[in-house]
Amino acid sequence: MDVVVHNVSLRGLIKVEGPSTYRPHPERPEEWTQFRQETTIRCRSLSALAALAEKVEIRCAERFLQTTQGERAKQQQVMQAAEQ
């Protein structure tokens, strides 16, 4: 029996493939099973990873700006309340 497992993650940047083979053992086929498992890991080019890293960086910067703008508005409210 042959089994092949594919695990795709990170939007196709990393692919893991794990074929497994089950065969009757040559010496005791009625009692034993020979098992073989392999794993292959493939990564896309560094340029694809760099593009992903750039997108993550841009998203983090956008979130930082949103957060700081919200915090600035809250600080102004506190300062105005303290002045009154």
Taking only the tens place, the pLDDT of each residue in 59-68 is 888 888 888 7
pLDDT greater than 80 at residue 4: no
First to last CA, the chain: 79
Q: Between β-strands 40-43 and 33-37, what pairing exists: parallel, antiparallel or unpaired?
A: unpaired
Single-letter amino acid code for the residue at 12: G
pTM recorded for the entire structure: 0.41
Mean pLDDT confidence for 68-72: 76
pLDDT per residue over 24-36, tens digit each? 999 999 999 998 8
Question: Could you say which DSSP state residue 30 is in?
Answer: T
Helix or strand (DSSP H, E) at 24: strand 14-24
Give me the percent of the chain exceeding a pLDDT of 90.
12
